[in-house]
Amino acid sequence: MYRLISKLSVYKNLGEENILVKLSNILYEMDYLKAKNQLQQLDAFDKENFISGIYTLINELLDVATKYGFDQNLWQNYLAFTLASMESPFAITCEKVGARQGTVNRFAKADFRIFLDLFHYDFSRIEQELGINCFSIITDYKAVKKSTGMYNKSVSDKVRELSACIASAKDEEEVFTIVTDFYKKHGVGMLGLNKAFRLSREHGRLELVPITNTLDVRLSHLVGYELQKKKLVDNTKAFVEGKKANNVLLFGDSGTGKSTSVKAILNEYYDKGLRMIEIYKHQFNDLSAVISLIKNRNYKFIIFMDDLSFEEFEIEYKYLKAIIEGGLEIKPDNVLIYATSNRRHLIRETWNDRTDMETDGDIHRSDTMEEKLSLVERFGITINFSSPTPKEYLEIVKQLAHRHGISHLSEEELYNEARKWELSHGGLSGRTAQQFINYLLGKL
């Protein structure tokens, strides 16, 4: 195995933490120790050390398999995961333009020949020598059925499909076609495999960390607000098709579906290359760095700011203004900003903001007001989500009840209970309606 990996070129930089690399190092040490001491078999102490190292790697592989929902042949799944997640220059080029003629293809095909050999690697000699059977188990694995919320289904489905295709390939030419087509269709690395991301500096540098369990919601699940949804769809559709599109502000009453609409947009257009990065107010200093990370990738990115608002003393909105429009560096064409807020103008206003008569520290308050409002003006589209009328609220309740199979109440009983619930649970909104339906489902 070590001799195979040492001949890799395009995929040379697997990293020391890669399970394939660690396993090949253990097997190399075994062979080296035997050759050095001219042994047919390892002694008991060395054998136990190697067995312990191998089972440590099996434990790591099982952790990865659980995280990504791998099944059947965990070894092949992991090799496919390595190919899908390694952002080599070759892979990123294929992501953008697909396979092209070039000398690099010869190196890539040589690597794919190695990976094909690794896919069908014979572990029987190692198992016999060490008296173990762990490789036989992981190559014929039956995963425990679990909820999709417990693992990264987005990655799992793609990697398992790639794994099955490579396993059935007859040669490196076929693997080359399979893998380069995969890069063009799905992309490469965490940006290609995942839908949504958050920012992190846990390891001292800025990272995009995948959000593995996103809400599986569609716009059709949101009852009403058809005009609002259409404006959002039209803008997003133009964006993913490479046309001109605007930053969007969704404002209005709480619980009306603003955030749900944005999350649904991600699910609707993910397979068209849309990705989403969630960022919070205290992270606005990192906006420029985030854009630098993503501006040259073959995806469309929505930077999502949920429940955005600023108090009078907060100045983070100035960073946001410069990023959206106003700084020297223009925002790249593959990035838009979608924000939700309960405030129409995002920034808290007072009556004093509306007059020049007050002079306690600010001679021209209308200028201050203009500066604050200029942030909203940088959103080309603003969409209002207002609370539903009592009639619209009851229609939402009715449709949600039908969707969840609630039939033990008549329509009149359902409406009466919904009115009672609304009076004591937050007023008229889609969120209140959903909470009422959850209450009924809990009583069944």
Q: What confidence score (pLDDT) does residue 365 get?
A: 52
Q: Residue 30 above 80 pLDDT?
A: yes
Rounded to the nearest integer, the mean pLDDT of the chain is 85
pLDDT band at 329 (very low <50, low <70, confident <90, very high): low
What is the percentage of the chain residues whose pLDDT exceeds 70? 87
pLDDT band at 443 (very low <50, low <70, confident <90, very high): confident
| 154 or 274, which is more confident | 274
Question: φ, ψ for residue 340 (rounded to 5)?
Answer: -120, 150
Kindly report, residue by residue over 76-126, the tens digit of the pLDDT: 999 999 999 998 899 988 988 888 888 999 999 999 999 999 999 999 989
Task: Give me the pLDDT at residue 277, please.
Answer: 94
Q: Is the pLDDT of residue 366 over 60?
A: no
Q: Using pLDDT thresholds of 50, 70 and 90, give the confidence band for residue 373.
A: low
Q: Could you read off the pLDDT of 387-411 as tens digits, one per residue?
A: 889 999 999 999 999 988 888 888 8
Alpha helices per DSSP H over 131-257: 134-138, 153-167, 172-186, 189-193, 226-240
The partner residues of 303 in beta bridges, in order of sequence, read 277, 337
User: 119, 111 in Cβ contact below 8 A?
Assistant: no
Query: How is the chain split into domains, by residue range?
Result: 2-193, 210-385, 390-443
Backbone angles phi, psi at 231, to 5 degrees: -60, -40
DSSP codes, 299-336: SEEEEEETT--B-TT--THHHHHHHHTTSSSPPPTTEE
More confidently predicted of 235 and 330? 235
pLDDT at 351: 45
360 has pLDDT over 60: no
Q: CA 68, 144, 266: angle at the middle one, nearest 5?
A: 35
pLDDT band at 149 (very low <50, low <70, confident <90, very high): low
> Which of 112-121, 125-134, 222-231 has the highest average model confidence (pLDDT)?
112-121
Q: How confident is the model at residue 217 (pLDDT cuts 50, 70, 90)?
A: confident
CATH class of 210-385: alpha beta
DSSP state of 141: B
pLDDT of the residue at 303:
92
